[in-house]
Amino acid sequence: MGDSNRGDDFIPAGLAALGIEADEIELAVMTAAQAMFWPPILELFDFDASAARPEPRPDLSRAPAR
């Protein structure tokens, strides 16, 4: 299934599940956003970040603890 088809199914289904209404223009925006974001999000799930030490509450003002 292509990305655009995924969006055709996923976006209306997701909106319906949440009870969110959308007009045609908003749907077109969401479909474009889905085409742009979904492939890298799917890749993100497979990204190996296991080398990172857990930093559950990072202090962004400082370097991470060594």
Partner 1 sequence: MSGAETALDRPLRDQAAVIAAGELDAGELLEATLDRIAERNPTLNAVVETFPQRSREMLASAPAGPLHGVPVVIKDEWPLPWRAQRFGAAEMLAATPPQPGESGPYRALRDAGAVIVGVGNMHELGSGSTGNVSYYGPARNPWDPERCPGGSSSGPAAAVAARMVAGAVGADGVGSIRYPAAYCGLTGLKPTFGRAAMAGHHMAEYSTMIVSGPLCVDAADARLLGSVLCDEELTRGEPRGLRIGVVRDLVSEDVEAPVRASCAKALGLICAATDSELVEIELPDLETSALAAVLIANSEGMAGLSPARLNRLDPELSPLGRGLLKFRMLLPAAASVKAAQVRALFRQRVAALFDEVDLIAWPTVPAVAPPLQAPLVELPSGTTTADQANVRGGALANLTGIPAISLPVGHSEGLPVGLQLQAAWGADALLLDVAEALEGANGRRKVDARPPLALDSGQPAEA
Residues that bind partner 1 (CB under 8 A): 10-11, 14-15, 18-22, 25-30, 33-34, 36-37, 40-41, 43-45, 47, 49, 51-55, 58-64, 66
| Min CB(2)–partner 1 separation in Å | 18
Amino acid at 54: P
All residues at 6 or more sequence positions from 32 whose CB lies less than 8 Å from its CB, including other chains: none
Crossing angle (nearest 10°) for helices 24-46 and 3-18: 110
Q: Of 1 and 47, which CB lies nearer to partner 1 in the complex structure?
A: 47
| Min CB(48)–partner 1 separation in Å | 9
What gap in Å lies between CA 51 and CA 37, rounded to an integer?
Answer: 25
